[in-house]
Amino acid sequence: MGFNLRSPLVTRIAILVATVFAMAYAVADSFNIIITLALAGATFFQISHLVKEFEESNENIASFLDAIRFDDLSSSFKTDSEDPAVQRIHNELNEAITHLKSSRSERDSEYQFLKNIVQHVGIGLLTFKKDGSIQIMNTAAKKLLKVNQAKHIDDLRAVSDTLVEAVLKLKTGGRELVRLILPDETVQISIYAIELTLRGEVIKLISMNNIQSELDEKEMEAWQNLVRVLTHEIMNSVTPISSLAGVVESELQSRMDQPVATFNKEEMEDMHLSIQTISKRSAGLIHFVREFKNLSQRPQPNLAPVQVKKLLGEMAVLQKKELIDSNISITVNVEPQDLSINADKSMIEQVLINLIKNAMQAFTEQENKCIQLKAYLDEKTRPVISVSDNGDGIDPDALERIFVPFYSTKKTGSGIGLSLSKQIMRQHEGRITVKSKLGEGTEFLLRF
C-alpha cells in the first residue's frame, strides 16, 4: 500500500518542481509572457490540487477517528474517486470500518451470551460499585430476595438490614450465613464475596445461595442420629432395670403373705444382686443425663492470646506418665515458633486432652507407637493444630458418625469427647476435621 500511494505523489511533486523551474527559467530569460503565465497557472493548479487532496485525506482520517471515538460505524467513504491513490485510501478505511463492525458485533454477541448465562444461572449474583450502585442483579437473586429491581445496595435494606451489612462487610473470599425473614418464609442464605477491578474501579461480586433445604435435611439427619444414640443408651439401662424390677416385684408379690424368715440365703442374695444392679444402672442413667446436660449447656469462651508451642508442650507433659506406661512416644512441632491463637485456653486444653487420649487408645500391636502434635499456618495463613497417630485407624462407617453425641467405638466410651470438641471449636468460630486410614493412623485438625 505504501509504494502504491507514494509513487503518484512523487510523480506529482517531480512535475510540480519541473514546472516551477521552467517558470523561473522563462521569467529569467524573458520568455513569451503567454508561456510564462501558462507555466504560472500550471504551477498554481498543481499546488492547489495537492493542497485539496491533502485536506481531503486529513478530513477522511479525522472522520474515521471520530467514528471510532464515538462508536459510530455507520459512515463509509466514496469508492468512485478518479484518483487511484485516494481510492486506495478510501477502500482501506472502509475495510477497517467493516472489521470494526464485525468485532463489535462479535463482542456484543459474547456479551449477550454471558448476560443470558448470568441471568439463568441458579445461584443469585449481585455486583455493585464502591458507591453502592448496582450493575447486575440476576433473576435468581431477585427471586431469592423477593424484589423486582434494585438500583442501589441500600434499596435491599427493605428486605434485610442484616443482609446489607453482611454484604458490605465481606471482603474477598469472605463467607457468611444470613438468616433472611421474608413475608412467607424464613430462609438461611449463604453469601460469598469477591472483589474485582474493572477499568481501575473496584466492583464487589456477591453470590447468594438458599441452603435452607440442605440445612433442614442435615438437621433432620442429626436429630435422627441423636435420637438413635439416645434410644440405644437409655434402653441399655432401662431394659435391665425394668426386667429386674419386674422379677423382684413378682417374687415379693407371690410371697406377700409369708414371713421374711421363709426366704433362704440364696433367694436373699438374688434379690440383693437384682436391687444392686438396678441401683448401678440407675446411677449410670443419671450420669448419662448429666453428661447430656453438660453437652447442651456450654459456657461462652473467654478469648485471649495463647502461645501454641507452650500449650502443646504442656499437653505433652500432662500426658507424659500415661504415655510412658503405654510405651508411646510423643513429638511437638510448631512453625512458626511464635504461633499464637485467640482462644479460651482451658477449652482448647480440654479438646487436646480428648484427642490425645483417643490417640493413645488407637494402638493395638504396633511396635513404634507415636503421637504427633503439630501446629502451622495453612495456605490462607490461618492457624492449624494437628493431632495424629500411627494407630489402627477408624473404620469408614464409624468415621461418618464419630462427632454424633454419645456415639462411641469403644465399649467403655461415653461418646461425649469428640462431640464436645466439635462444639468448642464452633464456639471459637473454627472447625475440627478428621482424616483416617485403616492400618495407617488418624489425624485430627483444629482450624482456627
- Is residue 206 domain-shared with residue 220, that is, in the same domain? no
pLDDT of the chain, 448 residues: tens digit per residue: 444 555 566 676 777 677 777 777 666 666 667 776 776 777 777 777 777 777 676 777 777 777 676 666 666 666 666 666 666 777 777 777 777 777 777 777 777 777 777 777 888 888 888 888 888 888 888 888 888 888 898 888 888 888 888 888 888 888 888 887 776 677 888 888 888 887 788 888 888 888 777 767 766 776 776 676 667 667 766 776 777 677 777 766 766 666 655 666 776 777 777 777 777 777 767 766 776 666 666 678 888 999 999 888 888 887 888 888 888 888 899 998 999 999 888 888 888 888 888 888 888 777 788 889 999 998 888 899 999 988 888 877 777 777 766 666 655 555 667 877 888 888 888 888 888 888 888 899 999 8
pLDDT at 14: 74
* CATH number reported for the structural domain that contains residue 164 in this entry: 3.30.450.20
Give the DSSP letter string of 289-301.
HHHHHHHHSPPPP
pLDDT at 3: 42
Domain range for 134 is: 122-210
- Is residue 85 domain-shared with residue 58, that is, in the same domain? yes
Cα(124)–Cα(137) distance, integer angstroms: 8
pLDDT at 2: 42
pLDDT at 383: 92
The H-or-E segment that residue 215 falls in is helix 212-254
pLDDT at 137: 87
Task: Determine if the pTM surpasses 0.85.
Answer: no
Instruction: Strand 175-181: give its sheet, edge to edge.
Output: 134-137, 124-129, 201-210, 186-198, 175-181
- Is residue 365 domain-shared with residue 400, that is, in the same domain? yes
Does 259 map to a domain?
yes
Does 116 map to a domain?
no
Cα(171)–Cα(349) distance, integer angstroms: 32
- Is residue 248 domain-shared with residue 347, that is, in the same domain? no
**Which of 210, 237, 260 is the C-terminal boundary of a domain?**
210
Does 337 map to a domain?
yes
- Is residue 323 domain-shared with residue 442, that is, in the same domain? yes
- Is residue 331 domain-shared with residue 291, that is, in the same domain? no
**Which of 210, 225, 242 is the C-terminal boundary of a domain?**
210
Q: How many structural domains is the chain composed of?
A: 4
First vs last C-alpha separation in the chain: 68
Cα(297)–Cα(420) distance, integer angstroms: 11
